[in-house]
Amino acid sequence: MINNVLRVACSGTGYFSQFHYEAWNRLDNVRLVGVCNRDIEKAKSFSETYQIEHYYQNLEVMLLELKPDFLDIITPPVTHLNAVTIAAKLGIDVCCQKPFGENVEQAQQMVAIAREAGIKLVIHENFRFMPWIRKAKEVIDSGILGQILNVQFNLRPGDGQGKDAYLARQAYFQDMPKFLIHETGIHIVDVFRYFFGEPNSVYAQLRRCNPVIKGEDAGIVIFQFSGNLQAILDGNRLLDHNSTNLRRTMGECQIAGTQGTLNIDGEGRIWFRKINEQISNEIHYEWQDENFGGDCVYQTIKHIVDHYLRGNPLENQGVEYLHNILVEQAIYQSHEQRSCIDLYLHPSIKITS
């Protein structure tokens, strides 16, 4: 960094990238120096919209010429390995969008490349930075729920019906051979791990409800954690939930313990009911209902910047995020085999770092 300013270059100009560029621009001590896209006109358009001086069609050329401190990769999984390889060769730290690569082998390869090059590799996993998730973590850690025994997240974004499902925002969703878990459910895997640590086992049944897409768009996954805790991801992208913005929380969550139950609703409100009582009381907290998911992209990027400027610990580095990818692999394996997968005894599920 020069004069305590983090110089950032971005690759990608798809639908979701708008939230990244906006977030970087809102932060002090950050300067967006370049944008890259294989469609040079899109790169030019983004450079004008977000006041970025340089735009490129070739990633390696951009990095060689600008020598940024940090690269934000905001492109589909098929591009990740090449982009990380180029950045690593030039010694540039990276943030990579999820899904992280196309499969667990690519994810492990990218972690190894980053480690050998001595660069930081961070995954842009933003659900854990949603304000209601951060607040729920505080409540869990406070102990007022008692021993937590049952958790359920009902994923209900309601955007998956009909032949035009996903086309308006992210059309490539229709062609993903693995969809619900690989693209969306991975967020909840990370949230569950953020809340409760590593799961001991998973059992999954997945299905496709909309025939126009290639991958699964619904399913149930049961996670077993230490302390007799069971968590369920019940996902269906065709169905909705009670919310004025279905993409705010993407669903509803209940966390039940021996001393009380916590509920997160579709408005981002958090409710606590003590055991044996009928009335739920709202837990008030401050958050911004803007952009995507309670401004979670900004909070994720701010977390990264705080690491560089203030030395704060960095969450979701690549080697840590491998745990999510391996849990994802086990979920698909469970579905295929119609069996429960033990995450630490099964021979094909290994953590390498």
pLDDT in tens, 160-185: 999 999 999 889 899 999 999 999 99
**C-alpha separations of 283 from 138, 270, 271 in Å:** 11, 5, 6
pLDDT of residue 345: 57
pLDDT given at position 213: 97
Protein fold of 6-125+299-317: Rossmann fold (3.40.50)
User: DSSP letters along 26-61, please?
Assistant: HSTTEEEEEEE-SSHHHHHHHHHHTT-SEEES-HHH
Return the CATH number of the domain spanning residue range 128-285.
3.30.360.10
Looking at residue 353, what is its pLDDT?
41
pLDDT digits over 206-243, tens only? 999 999 999 999 999 999 999 999 999 999 999 999 99
Please state, for a pLDDT cut of 70, what percent of the chain lies above it. 97
pLDDT higher than threshold 50 for residue 81: yes
Question: In whole angstroms, how far apart are CA 279 and each of 140, 261, 275, 285?
Answer: 19, 11, 10, 19
- Prediction pTM value: 0.94
Cα of first residue to Cα of last residue in the chain, in angstroms, is 28
Lowest mean pLDDT of 32-41, 69-78, 341-350, name the range: 341-350
Residue recorded with tokens 């560089």: 308
* Alpha-carbon Rg for the chain in angstroms: 20
Quote the pLDDT of residue 3: 78
With cut-offs at 50, 70 and 90, classify the pLDDT of residue 351.
very low
**Tens digits of residue pLDDT in 3-56:** 799 999 999 999 999 999 999 999 999 999 999 999 999 999 999 999 999 999
CA distance 293 to 240: 16
Domain residue ranges in the chain: 6-125+299-317, 128-285
Could you tell me if 43 and 35 are in contact, meaning their C-beta atoms sit under 8 angstroms apart?
yes
* pLDDT band with cut points at 50, 70 and 90 for residue 347: very low
**Which pLDDT band, with edges at 50, 70 and 90, does 344 fall under?**
confident
